[in-house]
Amino acid sequence: MNDPFSWAAGLVHEHLVIPALYALDLMAWEDTGYTFALLALYGAAQVAAMLAICVPLERLRPVERWEDHGVVWTDVLYTLIARMGLLPLLAFVVFRDVQATLEGFLLDHGFVPPTLEMLVPWLAGAPLVSFALYVVIFDFTDYWRHRLQHAVGWWWALHSVHHSQAQMTFWTDDRNHVLDDLISIVWFGAVALLIGIPPMQFPLVVLALRLIESLSHANARLHFGLVGERLLVSPRFHRAHHGIRAAGRRSVNFGAILPVWDIIFGTADFDRDFAARTGDPTADAAMVRGSWLAQQWSGIRRLAGSWARRRAPAPRRR
């Protein structure tokens, strides 16, 4: 996959990015511009795959039908920002710089950071197996990140933006508060540094995770059967997580790709019925139906309210 994307990114970089940087007197960002072009193309390919797979499913077998789809367009904007905009660039550039600085510091002090290939040498000759193991490790850590998003009050205040969408579609996957996304980037970056994932594989692993997560958010009557439901997160499995019945800080089905973590840690719900309604009944109108900026601001207000409640003195007992 890398060669055609690199070739296309080279064309975009040469004919669009460099002229724009030159006109803005920002040529110092030329290398970063190529990285942005490459990741934007990966994101565009991912969006195209989402459209090809999820749109037919949602039209042929929808769980819900709505008269007005206006609020979904805000989720489309979220997706464009998350997959083709600033966030992929931050994920790659920040991770690359931090990894280079940290590895240099450790090497100067005589410590070689471990990698999966160092721990299991035969993985060096099996890149697909190595990539799959990275995905499994990331999915396991993502399960616990997701649990914390619901369990920690201030983090839930931010994550509730994701759960406020009452019209859930495959676009909803990227409906996140920007601070929540930045925390997630730091989380995944820290995991990547700990397991020694190569810098160029890091965004690919994240993109692979996000593609499956998009499918799991689809408004489609789709499940993978008795066995398949326990091997891969389906739209039915994840819809239970977004259902009104499971709304809030105590939810179920936290896994992004593999339900096995929910099975092991007792948070799995394999209800055969599709959740009739999704969303957070405690969300205000701005968070549910507002613009991107209104939803972001609503998340900030919830965050401030969470901190205020924590700092408030406990009532005295008489």
- Tell me the pLDDT tens digit for each residue of 119-154: 777 877 777 888 888 889 989 999 999 999 999 999
Mean pLDDT (whole number) for 266-272 = 90
- Tokens standing for residue 203: 């965004």
CA–CA separation, 168 vs 246, rounded Å? 15
70-80 pLDDT per residue, tens = 889 999 999 98
pLDDT tens readout for residues 288-303 = 999 999 999 999 999 9
Model confidence at 318: pLDDT above 90: no
Cβ atoms of 40 and 84 within 8 Å: the answer is yes
Q: What is the pLDDT of residue 288?
A: 92
Phi, psi for 266 (deg, rounded to 5): 75, 25
pLDDT band at 196 (very low <50, low <70, confident <90, very high): confident
How far from 200 is each of 12, 62, 173, 192, 196, CA to CA, in Å?
Answer: 19, 37, 23, 11, 12
What is the identity of the amino acid at 82? A
Does residue 207 have a pLDDT over 80? no
Residue type at position 108? D
Q: Where are the alpha helices (DSSP H) in the chain?
A: 2-12, 18-23, 30-60, 72-84, 86-108, 116-119, 127-151, 153-163, 178-195, 201-216, 225-228, 235-242, 260-264, 285-289, 292-311
User: Does 314 score more than 60 pLDDT?
Assistant: no
Looking at residue 202, its pLDDT comes to 67
- Nearest partner of 53 among 222, 206, 172, judged by Cα: 222
Task: Examine the pLDDT at 317 and tell me if it is beyond 60.
Answer: no
Alpha-carbon distance 34 to 30, whole Å? 7
Backbone angles phi, psi at 243, to 5 degrees: -65, 155
Q: What is the pLDDT of residue 89?
A: 63
Separation between Cα atoms, residue 237 and residue 123, nearest integer Å:
32
Distance of alpha carbon 12 from alpha carbon 65, whole angstroms: 39
Res. 95: pLDDT tops 80: no
Residue 5 has pLDDT above 50, yes or no: yes
**What is the predicted pLDDT for the residue at 118?**
76
The per-residue pLDDT for 93 is 63
Confidence band for 33, pLDDT divided at 50, 70 and 90: confident
Percent of the chain predicted with pLDDT > 90: 41
Q: What is the mean pLDDT of residues 28-42?
A: 77
CA dist., res. 264 & res. 260, Å (int)? 6
pLDDT at position 172, please? Answer: 94
pLDDT the model gives residue 1: 47
Give the pLDDT mean for 55-63. Answer: 94
Highest mean pLDDT among 35-39, 81-85, 228-232: 228-232
